[in-house]
Amino acid sequence: MTLLDMIPSLQPGIPPRLSPGIWPRDARYDSEGRITLGRVAVTDIADRYGTPAYVLDEAEVRARCRAYRKAFPRARIYYAGKALLTKAVAEWVSAEGLSIDVCSTGELAVALTAGVDPQRIILHGTGKSRDELEAGVRAGVGRIVIDSLSEIALLSTQLNRPQAVLLRLTPGIDVHGHPAVRTGVLDQKFGLPLGSADAAEAVRRILEQPLLQLAGLHCHLGSQIYDPDHYGEAVRRLIAEMAWIRRDHGHLITELDVGGGHAVAYRPGDAELNVAELADILDDALDAACARHRFPRPVLAMEPGRAIVARAGVTLYRVMSVKQVEGASTFVTVDGGMNDNLRVALYGAHYEAVVANRRPHGPQRTVTVAGRYCEAGDILARDIRLPVDLHPGDLLAVPCTGAYHHSLSASYNCVGRPPVIAVRDGYARELVRRETIADLLARDIGG
Known binding residues are 261, 303-306, 343, 347, 375, 404
Residue 137 near residue 123, CB atoms below 8 Å: no
Residue 424 near residue 59, CB atoms below 8 Å: yes
Residue 409 near residue 340, CB atoms below 8 Å: yes
CB neighbour list of residue 326: distance below 8 Å, 6 or more residues apart: none
| Dihedral angle computed from the Cα positions of residues 197, 203, 206 and 208, in that order, rounded to the nearest 10 degrees | -90
Is the peptide bond preceding residue 228 cis, with omega within 30 degrees of 0?
Answer: no
Residue 304 near residue 80, CB atoms below 8 Å: yes
396: phi then psi, degrees, rounded to nearest 5: -105, 145
In angstroms, the CA 104 to CA 111 distance is 11
Secondary structure of residue 215 in the 3-state scheme? strand
* Amino acid (one-letter) located at 170: T
Residue 146 near residue 167, CB atoms below 8 Å: yes
Q: Please give the angle made by the CA atoms of 227, 233 and 235, to the nearest 5 degrees.
A: 115
Cite the annotated binding site for substrate by residue number. Answer: 306, 343, 347, 375, 404
3-state secondary structure 307-333: HHHHHHEEEEEEEEEEEECCCCCEEEE
Share in percent of the chain as helix, strand, coil (round to 5): 35, 25, 45
Cite the annotated binding site for pyridoxal 5'-phosphate by residue number. Answer: 261, 303-306, 404
CA 203, distance to chain mean position in Å, is 30
Beta strand 40-41 with 35-37 is antiparallel
In angstroms, the CA 398 to CA 317 distance is 8
Buried-exposed string 90-117: b where 16+ CB fall within 10 A, e elsewhere: bebbbebebbbbbbbbebbebbbebebe
Long-range contacts of 133-139 (CB under 8 A, 24+ apart): 133/158, 134/158, 135/105, 135/108, 136/108, 137/163, 139/108, 139/112
Q: Any idea which residues carry the catalytic annotation?
A: 374
